[in-house]
Structure 1
Amino acid sequence: MKILHVAQKTKGGVATHMAQLVVAQAAEHGVGNVVIVVGEDERHFFEAIPQSTLRLFRSSARRPGAFAGMARFAHRVIAAERPDILHIHSTFAGVLIRARYLFMRAERRPAIVYCAHGWAFNMQIPAWQKRIYVAIERLLARVTDRILCISRFEQDSAIAVGLPAAKLAMVYNGLPPLDGDVAPAAGFESTTLNLLFIGRTTPQKGLPDLFAAMALLGDRAIHLHTVGDRMDETRSARSNITEHGWKPRELLPGYIAAADAIVMPSRWEGFGLAAIEAMRQARPVVASDADALPEIVRPGISGYLYPRGNVAALADVLAGLDRAELRALGRSGRDLFLAEFTEERMIAKVAHLYRGIAATQPAKKVDSLLDLTK
């Protein structure tokens, strides 16, 4: 089986997901049978995969010229490699690559797997934009053999807007276990309760809500550390916040190990990779109740939930945190991680999905894969 992955933008969880699949698939099918198309400017996210699998287009920038260049390059690679499975990641690649196949007979294209990694129509955007995104996804589903959803919320949302249920498969993201003990990162004082935010400053991630909640805590012995984009100086210059900036992914376990809890104030979230990163290291999560997060952050098991966008409620949760209770939640959260969110489990389910597609070729008969949730 030959597999080709393609994405327009990969920064964050998409890069992690793709790299995990490529490493496993290269081991199973041979390095020559796995290809990944990504931007040259994002090559550094894929240093751990076999470099011979990479096919690099010039830029992952989101502007018309870069979109066109990416699409032309990807289609040339697809024509040259002739994959059995074309696995497309995220919205922009999903549109740019699948659109061409609307005008092609089914037997002339590879089998297509598409993963949005968070539906665009679930973002907090005007209703008219949501309708456009839904219409596009419904149209492009016609040339898609399987649509991979990364949470039950994503799957239920897709069914609710009219995407074909028989083409949907739900597979949670997963992570590998960590080898040995992780040394905590420097800069965390033991005299305070240390919270950690990991991510970008995009509206989706809700960092302004977290900063506002920290302002309400006054002189309590609670300190917030952030890894990722920095906020502007006027908002972040507070004595109870330290911004560490972007760090290589291999250093993140050290920051998690130094924290008492991870905070995810997301406004919308198709999955929530930072949550399972925390749970893998027995750290509980304080999260909004946005979208898929309650599937991962379960009160009394792996953390605490509060109503999304409610700064006062977030501040109340943070003010009431207790180290002993956090440690207990961390232990039960790790048990949940091992049961449902491992890399091994994710890779096995994607492989099962691929085999289901291969079994239907060349007729491409579509059978339901909803049992993957079991």
Structure 2
Amino acid sequence: MKILHIAETLKGGLETYLRMVSGFQQNSPVITQAKFVLPGPVEWLSSQDTHVVPTARSPLALASYAAEVRKIIRTERPSVLHLHSSIAGGVVRAMALLGQVPQETKIVYCSHGWAFDQIGPSYKKSIYRWAEWLLSYWTDAIICISDHELRIAEKFGIKRCRCIPNGITPAALGHEQAAAPIDVSSRQRQILFVGRLDRQKGIDLLLDSYARVRPRFKLTIVGGAVRNDLSLAHSDEIEFKGWLEKDELDAAYRSCDAVIVPSRWEGFGFVAVEAMARSKPVFASAVGGLVDIVEDTKNGRLFPLDRLDEMLREIDQIPNEDLVRMGQNGRKIFEEKYTADRMNSAIVDLYKESVL
């Protein structure tokens, strides 16, 4: 089986996803070739396995992108096209509609978060929803990255969907240290935020709430602006670390007592799973895929965004033993549901079903 992955962007958790998928598929006995069409070179793929096709969102640029991708498909003749995110999914499935994809090539699509499930103008969401519904008829299988995504796909009549939750690799997270809680009895509580500093991730809401409540815990922010859609006020009481390398990020996770995820919307919620893999409880907004990952009071807490102030006060007051208990429960849930091996095996099984 020859697989060609196509991704028009590498923002957010998509690069993490593709990195894990590439490592598994390039060593799979049932996959003879796994290549990638990406907007730029990456250090985790060799040049011979990567087709670099720069992208932009203008109509002319998308037409040029489609032409380049069509040439690559004709050259590679893959058994399966695995499309990632709505732009690549829209462009290539539109090509299939126009007869520009070989009929023997199967199409697997993953939106990595439905565009119509995000906050935005209702007319745009309606357009995205109808486009996804129409293009599903030119798709052999659609991967939903959470039960939430599957539920809303079924609600709007999008066919051929299967839930394969995102996963991460325990070995990459310091497995031998993952379940070891740290002593929090003699120091200030440490709470961690990890993610882009943009509207989707709710960082503005978190900083505003922190300024109002003035909790006793220390808040550490890991990440940086990508979209520049917010103006954020910095404070001497909050530590901004910017983007961290892998080992530094792992140390930040391991040294915190809990992770907070105040997103406005999430198709999945990689940060929550990364925290659970390190035995950390998750305090998350009750939106999107987060409601499937965080089991309230078991491995963390879910809260409406309009009650964020209350949640910060609860984080201050919750006993240390409850934090440790929820963190340990989170590790168990992670091992049961969210490992990369489970995700990758399910993806390859889906390929085999589609090709047969």
Query: TM-score, normalised on structure 2?
Result: 0.90
Shift of 1:346: 0.6
Choose 237-246 or 28-37, whichever is displaced more. 28-37
Answer yes or no: is 1:278 the counterpart of 2:275. Answer: yes
Shift of 1:12: 2.0
Q: Structure 2: state its 5+ residue gaps.
A: none
Residues 286, 304 of structure 2: 8 Å contact kept: yes
Shift of 1:248: 3.0
Answer yes or no: is 1:19 the counterpart of 2:14. Answer: no
Report what 2:165 is aligned to.
Answer: 172
Cα 1:111–1:61 change in 2 (3 A) is same
Report what 2:216 is aligned to.
Answer: 221
Choose 284-293 or 230-239, whichever is displaced more. 230-239
Partner of residue 205 from structure 1, selected from 201, 205, 222: 201
Answer yes or no: is 1:145 the counterpart of 2:147. Answer: no
Residues 204, 230 of structure 2: 8 Å contact kept: no
Query: TM-score, normalised on structure 1?
Result: 0.86
Residues 101, 109 of structure 1: 8 Å contact kept: no
Answer yes or no: is 1:70 the counterpart of 2:65. Answer: yes
Residues 85, 110 of structure 1: 8 Å contact kept: yes
Report what 2:78 is aligned to.
Answer: 83
Question: C-alpha distance in 2, partners of 1:250/1:5?
Answer: 28
Cα 1:151–1:234 change in 2 (3 A) is closer
Partner of residue 331 from structure 1, selected from 322, 328, 331: 328
Deviations 1:228-286 (A, max 9, x none): 11599984422321111112345421211111111100111111011110000001110
Question: C-alpha distance in 2, partners of 1:101/1:119?
Answer: 20
Residues 7, 38 of structure 1: 8 Å contact kept: yes
Report what 1:371 is aligned to.
Answer: none
Cα 1:318–1:61 change in 2 (3 A) is farther
Question: C-alpha distance in 1, partners of 2:96/2:37?
Answer: 18
Shift of 1:100: 1.0
Answer yes or no: is 1:319 the counterpart of 2:316. Answer: yes
Report what 1:119 is aligned to.
Answer: 114
Shift of 1:293: 0.7
Report what 1:193 is aligned to.
Answer: 189
Instruction: Give, as a single letter, the amino acid of the residue that structure 2 aligns with 1:193.
Output: R
3-state secondary structure, aligned to 2:275: helix
Question: C-alpha distance in 2, partners of 1:274/1:71?
Answer: 33
Choose 175-184 or 304-313, whichever is displaced more. 175-184
Report what 1:353 is aligned to.
Answer: 350
Answer yes or no: is 1:289 the counterpart of 2:286. Answer: yes
3-state secondary structure, aligned to 2:305: coil
Question: C-alpha distance in 2, partners of 1:50/1:320?
Answer: 50
Residues 276, 327 of structure 2: 8 Å contact kept: yes
Question: C-alpha distance in 1, partners of 2:153/2:344?
Answer: 22
Answer yes or no: is 1:254 the counterpart of 2:251. Answer: yes
Q: How many residues are matched?
A: 347
3-state secondary structure, aligned to 1:244: strand
Instruction: Give, as a single letter, the amino acid of the residue that structure 2 aligns with 1:2.
Output: K
3-state secondary structure, aligned to 1:197: strand
3-state secondary structure, aligned to 1:128: helix
Deviations 1:57-90 (A, max 9, x none): 13x4444454334322222211110000000000
Cα 1:232–1:119 change in 2 (3 A) is closer
Choose 261-270 or 308-317, whichever is displaced more. 308-317
Shift of 1:22: 1.4
Deviations 1:78-129 (A, max 9, x none): 1110000000000111111111111218863510000000000101112211
Question: C-alpha distance in 2, partners of 1:319/1:52?
Answer: 52
Partner of residue 305 from structure 1, selected from 294, 299, 302: 302
Deviations 1:281-302 (A, max 9, x none): 0011100000221111112221
Cα 1:244–1:63 change in 2 (3 A) is farther
Deviations 1:204-225 (A, max 9, x none): 111111111211232x431111
Residues 115, 147 of structure 1: 8 Å contact kept: yes
Shift of 1:135: 1.1
3-state secondary structure, aligned to 1:269: coil
Report what 2:237 is aligned to.
Answer: 240
Shift of 1:32: 6.1
Residues 37, 50 of structure 2: 8 Å contact kept: yes
3-state secondary structure, aligned to 1:118: coil
Residues 209, 309 of structure 1: 8 Å contact kept: no
Cα 1:31–1:2 change in 2 (3 A) is closer
Residues 182, 254 of structure 1: 8 Å contact kept: no
Residues 95, 101 of structure 2: 8 Å contact kept: no
3-state secondary structure, aligned to 1:27: coil
Instruction: Give, as a single letter, the amino acid of the residue that structure 2 aligns with 1:18.
Output: L
